[in-house]
Each structure stands twice: as C-alpha cells, then as structure tokens.
Structure 1
C-alpha cells in the first residue's frame, strides 16, 4: 500500500455544506466528509459494527452517524461516540492544494 498522497477531486466537487462521498483508494473504500463548518475529513467507509457504508449516514457537527444502527463516529479521530460500535474507524490525512483546490488523501497504515 502506498503512503503517497493521491488526488481525489477538487474541493468544489465535494457535497456541502455537510455531506459525504466514497472514494476507492488502492482497493480501500474511504469516506470523504464535510462538516457543516466546512472542515473536511477522511476515514474508512465501513462501520465497525455493522459492515455498512458510513457515507450514507447523517453528519451532525463533527460526527457521522451510521444509518443502520445509529453508531456515531467522531470524524477527526474515528473514535466511536455512540453505541453499538466500540471499535474506531481508521482516519486518513487530507491536504488541499491552495493553488487549484485539489484534495489529496494519504492512507493511514
């Protein structure tokens, strides 16, 4: 697995003010989510409790809620903040090129 940044999209292509999309990066499904404040996050797309897509969940503040059973994850840390999930999701590094608005992602180990 590469640890080099991969261009995902342009900031303008991401849903807002609060929304999420899924990208397949080197065979790994990753959610790129925007808080209502505009801050961007990237984390593994699969809920650690029920094996469903987190990108389909609701975003409230800095948390995303799994649509199936209501588990909530803090998007910046991946830590579950609401049961039934107890295991965190991996969080990835996002960088934005200020010159052209490109969003780059570096996968976590």
Structure 2
C-alpha cells in the first residue's frame, strides 16, 4: 500500500469533510455521523463541484450544487443527476494520522 498522511484524525469534525490534495488528486476526507473516516474523490461526477463543501449525513455526502448524494463506502451515487461513482480510497488510521492510498481506489478497478 502506498498510503500517505492526509490529515490528523482531529482535523475533521463529525459529519464534516476536509479537502486535501494527494499526488495531484483532490480527496475529501469525511467523518460520518458515527465518527468513521472515509476518503473519496472530491469532485462530484455530475458537475465537477467540490464534495467537501457539501453536506454529510450518516454515511453519505451530498453535493451542495445539484443535490446528488454519494455513499461514502462505495462511492455510488444514490440519486440523480449524478450517475457515475466517485473513487473511494483505502484509509488507515495510525495514531492520530489519517493515511490514504490514492493509487489503489477500492471501487474503480
């Protein structure tokens, strides 16, 4: 795994997202309502809008511009207008560090 530090665990609030760039890829680090941390592609597949500026609820993130929701575990859109998934990246927590492997997406092989 080629994971690298994306942020600290405490850098992301519950039900919020933080945009980071890793290897030239925009990634949204998201802490869902249960406190689990996810890493997904930051760009909405419908309108190239930053998902980290959207709304987090339970295990979903919603694009603020057009309302498409994406499942944080699978990257799949849950409603229109988006119909293509966003990449989901492996996350490892080591101490207070959130490590993300952007070279090996879990869902877009």
Q: TM-score, with normalisation over the residues of structure 2?
A: 0.91
> Which one has a bigger Cα radius of gyration?
1
RMSD over aligned Cα atoms: 1.0
List runs of 5+ in structure 1 lacking aligned partners.
none
Q: Match for residue 13 of structure 1?
A: 11
1:48 aligns with 2:45: yes
Post-superposition shift, 1:66? Answer: 0.4
1:88 aligns with 2:85: yes
Q: TM-score, with normalisation over the residues of structure 1?
A: 0.91
Q: Match for residue 30 of structure 2?
A: 33
> The residue matched to 2:10 in structure 1 has which SS?
helix
The runs of 4+ residues in structure 1 deviating greater than 6 Å are: none
Q: Match for residue 68 of structure 2?
A: 71
- C-alpha distance in 2, partners of 1:96/1:40? 9
List runs of 5+ in structure 2 lacking aligned partners.
none
